[in-house]
Chain A
Amino acid sequence: MYDLDGKKILVTGASSGLGRAAAIKLSALNAKVCLIGRDETRLKETLSLMKNKNHFILPADLKNFEEYEESFKRITMEMGKLDGLVHFAGIHKILPLKAMKVDSLKEMLDVNLLAFFELVKHFTKKNNVNDAGASIVGISSVASLRGASALSGYGCSKAALDGAVRSLACEYASKNIRINSVAPGFVKTPLNDNTMKTLPQEAVDKIINAHPLGIGTPEDVANLVAFLLSSEAKWITGSTIIIDGGFSIAS
């Protein structure tokens, strides 16, 4: 098994679900993690589940773009230059077009997409990133590749993220900063449990049955993210890696 051996990694959305599982996994591989999320109490819960206690908690709302510069200053002052960034924070709204208000679409794009751009912009600044290189992972979704009713807004935010990853990977390759995205299928998380409550049971069963290997766990995704952040993945950039129990290849 590889080791992240003291790599300094920033994880957004670390207060629950996929972000929490990844933070735990990264700490198990001996990374030093900066946990970002809105809720300090839940970030502390994540921290209590992690190996080692040398991590750094930063409660922040990623929609406040004007705070990023100051936040990165605090992070690097605390941790030194960073080796990795994973953007797990996201909003998942199931909305038919006719029920979609511009504001709810904007909110989803702010967190899922624009926050990623701003994070990458600040992360890659000379004072913030390791001179030897780094790895960035955006969290996409199979909704970026496959259509479904009521997912146009969410799917668009994730497809846009994948599109950004391709060009950003070219833009930062000369600095040895790799940028990829991961597109999970349906994973059992508290956020998804809430979303599922808004759907009738038969719709939920249909989603579950569409995954030949069944639905995933947050740990499944955490393992892939940890790999992409490690030097084992040093030849992978600009890719969207699907992890979906076969959802996208099944007919």
Chain B
Amino acid sequence: MEELFLKRFAEALEKEVGVKMEDDFREYEEWDSLSLLVILSMVDDEYGVNIDANHFAGMKTVKDIFEFIIKKSA
């Protein structure tokens, strides 16, 4: 599940080198104002989990998002 999440995350941002759990995603060169919506929509489509923008603002790493999904789907 972890691997698939990383794959989906990288695909959503078209990040060819892939992403790692510890990455601060806002530091990606590919990150722009629409990336937020792209990631929120990927998480909703693939995991059926909604993340509020306010909540998202408190997330820093790829792992933060992954753990939120795990918590919500439990």
Footprint of B on A, CB under 8 Å?
Answer: 94-96, 98-99, 101, 104, 149-150, 197-201, 203
> Is A96 within 8 A of B54, CB to CB?
no
Name the 6 nearest CB pairs between A and B, nearest first.
Answer: A99-B41, A96-B34, A99-B38, A197-B52, A200-B53, A96-B37
| Complex Cα spacing A101 to B45, Å | 9
> Is B34 within 8 A of A150, CB to CB?
yes
Q: In the complex, what residue of chain A is closest to B50 when comparing beta carbons?
A: A198
The verdict on B40 contacting chain A, using a C-beta distance below 8 Å, is yes
Footprint of A on B, CB under 8 Å?
Answer: 12, 14, 33-34, 36-38, 40-42, 45, 50, 52-54, 57
- Chain B residues whose CB sits within 8 angstroms of the CB of A101 once the complex forms: 45
> Is A198 within 8 A of B52, CB to CB?
yes
| Complex Cα spacing A95 to B42, Å | 10
> Is A198 within 8 A of B33, CB to CB?
no
- Chain B residues whose CB sits within 8 angstroms of the CB of A197 once the complex forms: 52-54
Chain A proximity of B59: nearest CB distance (Å): 12
- Chain B residues whose CB sits within 8 angstroms of the CB of A104 once the complex forms: 45
Chain B proximity of A98: nearest CB distance (Å): 6
